[in-house]
Structures are given as C-alpha cells and as structure tokens.
C-alpha cells in the first residue's frame, strides 16, 4: 500500500508538472497570437504613416509665400517648423502643409501631408525593430518636411495675396476632408494683408463689420469649429499691421468657430 501510495503521488506530480507545462505553452501561444494580431491591426498606412484607426489629431501649417522672407524671418520660420515637427506634434497626429501664393488655384492640395510615426523612444527593443522605426521617422517623415519647408521660404513678390481664399481652401481640403476626431490646430504664417481684386486691406480699412456685409465675405465663408488658431505674423508692412488688423482677424476666426486665437509676430 505504501509503495502504491508513493507511486500514485509521483504520478500525480508528473501529471501536475505536465499539465502546467502544457498550460504555459498554451498561454504563450495565445499571447503570441494576440501580440501578432495587435501588431497586424496597428500597422500604419504606408503612404501617410497614419495609424490604421486614423489620425489622433490634426495640425495644419499654412505658409504665405506672396512676399519673400528676409534672412531673420527664414531662420525664425525654420525654428518654428523644427519646433512643431520635432517637439510639438505627437505621434499619430497628421500634419498638412499648404503654401499660399498668388496662383493658389493651382496649389489647392497640401505640399506635404504625413502623420508623425514617432521615433524609437518608448518602443520595446525585444519585440520591435528600433533601427527601422528611427529610419522611417527620419527618411519618410522628417526629410520630406524639411525639404518642403526649404522650398516655401524662397519666393518672388506676388501681385495678389489671397489669404481669405486660401483659408477657405484649407478649411475644405484639410479639416473638412479628414474630419479628425481629436485636437485640431491651424498654424498660419502670414502678414495677414489680404490683397485681391475683390477685397484688399490696401484699399479698405480692416473692419470686419464692413467686410461681413460684402458678397465676397459670403463667398469665402469658412468653418474652423473647435480649431485652435496660431498666427505667426510676418511684419512686411508694420504701418498697416496695427491693432485694427489684428482685431479683424480675431473676429474673423471667432465667427468661424475657432476655439482659441493667438497672434504673435514672427521675428524678423
């Protein structure tokens, strides 16, 4: 009886160990399957680098090229772009870059439109290729944006400056087109001096109340509902860029539904 009892206990231990090993193998297989499925589901869009579920936020950069930048403005603009791209734009956020020029009818699409894929910081080196993550971040995200920003600061003086028309186009081609369910921001680099055949601050004082009554105001109506607006003001004509101009644009963005509006001069 004693021998049978010991044998039974030994057999029970063997069964327990065998069962535990089998359970561990099953759990590892399940965990590996879940990880593989999660990675497969979360694979970003290869063209836009955006998460499979869509962008987590949306930042639009609109740069006014109707007047050339002086040297200080070029440096300040480069610093602004670097700060936005490398420090302020969270991973998974979409960045759409537009240029404002006198031929805006031919430049209605973004110059660059990519999501920040994020660098290797915060990733697991045991389960992810950190070198590939950094390479994607540098070559497919940073490089196109840097090349685009370099092209934007070199321009000849334009005959017109269709700021209002381009803002409407950005509203349609960026915010309305993507409808990102997350924080949204418009960064406008411009002198804000609208100039065209239908409306010009060189001919008309910047009064929003007077502008609102014109057919042109109805034609260029925009929607920036819930968008945070940041203006980096290019001081090309300081005599015309006083408080009345800032009040015009503050009211303009407020009426368009902007969540906040901030206008600060760009150095230079």
- Tell me the CA distances in angstroms from 168 to 62, 85, 164, 171, 192, one per residue in order: 11, 24, 6, 5, 14
Please give the model's pTM, rounded to 2 decimal places: 0.83
The token duo for 71 is 């040297």
The answer to whether 100 touches 188, Cβ cutoff 8 Å, is no
Distance CA(92)–CA(73), nearest Å, equals: 29
Q: Whole-angstrom Cα distance, residue 248 to residue 256?
A: 12
Structural domain spans, the chain: 1-41, 57-265
Q: Could you tell me the pLDDT band of residue 47, with boundaries at 50, 70 and 90?
A: very high
Alpha-carbon distance 160 to 194, whole Å?
8
Beta carbons within 8 Å of 250's beta carbon, 6+ residues apart: 261, 263
- Mind listing the pLDDT tens digit for each residue in 174-221? 999 999 999 999 999 999 999 999 999 998 778 999 999 999 999 999
Candidates 3.90.25.10, 3.20.20.140, 3.40.1160.10, 3.40.50.410; correct CATH number of 57-265? 3.40.50.410
Q: Are 248 and 62 in contact (CB under 8 A)?
A: no
Contact between residue 164 and residue 212 where contact means Cβ atoms under 8 Å apart: no
Give residue-wise pLDDT tens across range 96-114: 999 988 776 777 899 999 9
Order of strands across the sheet with 112-115?
Answer: 112-115, 93-100, 57-64, 184-190, 228-233, 260-265
């Amino acid at each position: 009886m004693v021998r049978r009892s010991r044998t039974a206990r030994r057999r029970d231990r063997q069964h327990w160990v065998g069962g535990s090993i089998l359970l561990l193998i099953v759990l590892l297989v399940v965990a590996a399957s879940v990880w593989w499925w999660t990675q497969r589901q979360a694979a970003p869009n290869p063209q836009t680098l955006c998460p499979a579920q869509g962008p987590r936020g949306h930042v639009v950069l609109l740069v006014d090229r109707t007047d050339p930048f002086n040297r200080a403005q070029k440096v300040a603009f480069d610093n602004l772009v670097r700060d936005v791209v490398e420090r302020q734009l969270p991973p998974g956020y979409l960045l759409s870059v537009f240029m404002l020029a006198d031929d805006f009818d031919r430049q209605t699409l973004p110059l660059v439109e990519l999501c920040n894929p994020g660098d290797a910081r915060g990733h697991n080196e045991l389960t992810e290729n950190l070198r590939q993550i950094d390479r994607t971040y540098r070559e497919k995200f940073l490089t196109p944006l840097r090349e685009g920003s370099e092209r934007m600061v070199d321009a000849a003086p334009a005959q017109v400056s269709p700021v209002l028309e381009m803002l409407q186009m950005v509203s349609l081609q960026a915010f309305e087109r993507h409808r990102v369910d997350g924080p949204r921001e418009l960064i406008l680099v411009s002198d804000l001096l609208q100039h065209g055949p239908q409306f010009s601050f060189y001919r008309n004082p910047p009064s929003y109340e007077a502008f609102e009554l014109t057919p042109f105001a109805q034609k260029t109506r925009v929607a920036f509902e819930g968008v945070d607006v940041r203006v980096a003001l290019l001081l090309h004509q300081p005599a015309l860029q006083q408080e009345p101009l800032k009040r015009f644009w503050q009211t303009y963005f407020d009426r368009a539904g902007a969540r906040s509006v901030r206008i600060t001069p760009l150095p230079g």
